[in-house]
Amino acid sequence: MFDDRNDAGRQLAEKLRHLQDQNPIVLALPRGGVPVGFEIARALAAPLDLLLVRKIGVPWQPELALGAVANGAHPETFIDKELEAALDISDDYVKRETARQLEEVERRRRVYCGGRAPLDIAGHTAIVVDDGIATGATMRVALQASRRRNPARLVLATPVAAADTIEKLRPLADDVVCVEIPSWLGAIGFFYADFHQMSDAEVTAIVAEAAKPPASEGDQPAGAAEPTATNSWRRFLSRHFRKAAPKPGSARADHNADPQRPPP
C-alpha cells in the first residue's frame, strides 16, 4: 500500500538508482504518473517530461480500454482488435474517438507545457512512468511511441501492475521495474491510501516545479525537508482553490473519493 503517488514515486525511485549514471530522462504519463515521475526525476537528478497518451475507451464503458493513442511526429495508435470484434464496436467509432483523443493530447500539451516541444530522448535512457497499469493499452502505446524516438535504453517503471499485463509489456521495453505485482490487481486505487483524481492545475504546478534548477545545499536551511511534488501542488492549490473544510463524519472527510476506489 502506498500513501499517495509521491510515496509510490519515492519507493520506485529506489529501484531505479542504478540508472542514475545512464543519462536518464523521465517521461511521465499525465495525470497520475506525473507526481510519481517527479519523485523519480528528483532522486536521479534527471529531467522530467510528459508523455501524452490517451485511452480510447469502450463507448458504453469509457474506463475500459479498447486502445490508446499518443501524438508526435508519427501518431501511435493501438486497438485491441479481439476486444473490438467481441464487443462489435464499429470502425467509425474508433476513428472518431481516436481523432477526439488526439485533440485532447494537444490541448494538454498546451496547458501543461505551454506548447514546449518534447525533450529529445535519443541516446538517453528513457524511463516511462505511470501510477499503475491495469490492461496495459495506454502503456503499450507509450512504449511504442517512445521507442520511435531512439532512446539508448527504454525502461518501463510503475509502482503497481497486473502480473499478466507486465508479462505482455516486457518485450516492448529493455527493462521493467515495478514495486508491486499482484496476481490479481482489481483497481489500481486499491493500492493507494490517497488516489484522488488529479486536476490540470496540479499537473501544471508539478511540471513548473520540476523545471526549476535543484536548490544547492546552501539554499536549504539545516534540517529542511527535501521539496516534493506533493508540497508543490498543495501550496498551489491552497492559494488558488481554497474550499471549505468537510464536516467531521462526512463521506468527504472520511474517504478520498475515487471512481475506482469505493468507500470502506
Which residue's C-alpha cell is 496547458? 111
Is a pLDDT exceeding 50 seen at residue 2?
Answer: yes
For residue 131, what is the enclosing H or E element?
none
pLDDT tier for residue 137 given thresholds of 50, 70 and 90 = confident
Grid cell in block for residue 71 = 501524438
Share of the chain above pLDDT 70, in %: 79
Which pLDDT tens digit goes with each residue over 223-243? 444 444 444 444 433 433 333
What is the Rg, in whole angstroms, of the alpha carbon atoms belonging to the chain? 19
Which pLDDT tens digit goes with each residue over 242-255? 333 343 444 333 33
How far is 157 from 73, CA to CA, in rounded Å?
Answer: 24
Grid cell in block for residue 149 = 524516438
Which pLDDT tens digit goes with each residue over 41-76? 999 999 999 999 888 999 998 878 888 888 765 678
Share of the chain above pLDDT 90, in %: 57
Q: What is the mean pLDDT of residues 149-168?
A: 96
Q: What is the mean pLDDT of residues 10-23?
A: 97
pLDDT for the residue numbered 73: 58
Is a pLDDT exceeding 90 seen at residue 108?
Answer: no
What pTM was computed for the model? Answer: 0.76
Is a pLDDT exceeding 90 seen at residue 143?
Answer: yes
Domains, the chain, in order of start with CATH, read: 5-191 (3.40.50.2020)
Which regions of the chain does DSSP assign to beta strands (E)? 24-28, 48-50, 53-58, 61-70, 76-79, 125-129, 153-160, 175-180
**Cα angle vertex 80, ends 74, 82, to 5°?**
145
pLDDT for the residue numbered 214: 62
Asked if 49 and 119 touch (Cβ cutoff 8 Å), the reply is yes
pLDDT for the residue numbered 118: 86
pLDDT for the residue numbered 185: 85
pLDDT for the residue numbered 72: 62
Which pLDDT tens digit goes with each residue over 170-225? 999 999 999 999 988 888 999 999 999 999 999 999 999 998 876 544 444 444 44
The DSSP call for residue 121 is: -
Grid cell in block for residue 148 = 520511435
Specify the higher pLDDT residue, 22 or 247: 22
Mean pLDDT of the chain: 82
For residue 162, what is the enclosing H or E element?
none
Q: How far is CA 163 from CA 40, 83, 87, 168, 175, in A?
A: 22, 20, 25, 9, 15
Specify the higher pLDDT residue, 65 or 39: 39
pLDDT for the residue numbered 215: 56
pLDDT for the residue numbered 117: 81
The DSSP call for residue 73 is: S
Grid cell in block for residue 163 = 502480473
- Name, in order, each residue with C-beta under 8 angstroms of 102's C-beta and a sequence gap of 6 or more: 54, 69, 71, 75
Q: Name the range with the highest mean pLDDT among 130-144, 146-160, 183-197, 221-235.
A: 146-160
pLDDT for the residue numbered 175: 97
Q: How far is CA 227 from CA 12, 17, 29, 49, 99, in A?
A: 17, 19, 21, 18, 39
Q: Name the range with the highest mean pLDDT among 77-91, 136-150, 159-173.
A: 159-173
How far is 173 from 247, CA to CA, in rounded Å?
Answer: 47
How far is 177 from 147, CA to CA, in rounded Å?
Answer: 17
